Amino acid sequence: MRKESSTNTLNRNKISNNCGMAYTLDVIGGRWKPTILWSLLNGKLRYSELKKSIPDVSERILVLQLRELEKDGLINRLVYAEVPPRVEYELTKDGASLQPMLQIISEWGDVHRPHKTKV
């Protein structure tokens, strides 16, 4: 977390407040957020199912990214009063509205990803 008074944070906020694209990239940007959102497009997932669907993400980072997505209103965290506790995540209406954009970004990446040549 950056300090709210840092020049970097102030610049990011200024750009995000004046540019829709910058705001969108700020909210969904990062290594794991698009993958988390993509995983939730098919419906609710328990934390353990989400973790299994993204095996390379660390627990710490997954929790941080989930908290940020929840804070930004893209996902809901559902906690059930059971023993053991059960937690599920689902997209909000705003989160689900990202589906067409995520699809286009994915397709663009598939077309433009450099292909490694076999040695």
Q: What is the pLDDT of residues 95-115, one digit of tens each?
A: 999 999 999 999 999 999 988
Only one residue has tokens 């997209």, namely 91
Residues 44, 48, 53, 57: is their CA dihedral positive or negative?
Answer: positive
* Mean pLDDT computed over every residue of the chain: 91
The string of pLDDT tens digits covering residues 42-65 is 999 999 999 999 999 999 999 999
3-class state of residue 18 by DSSP: helix
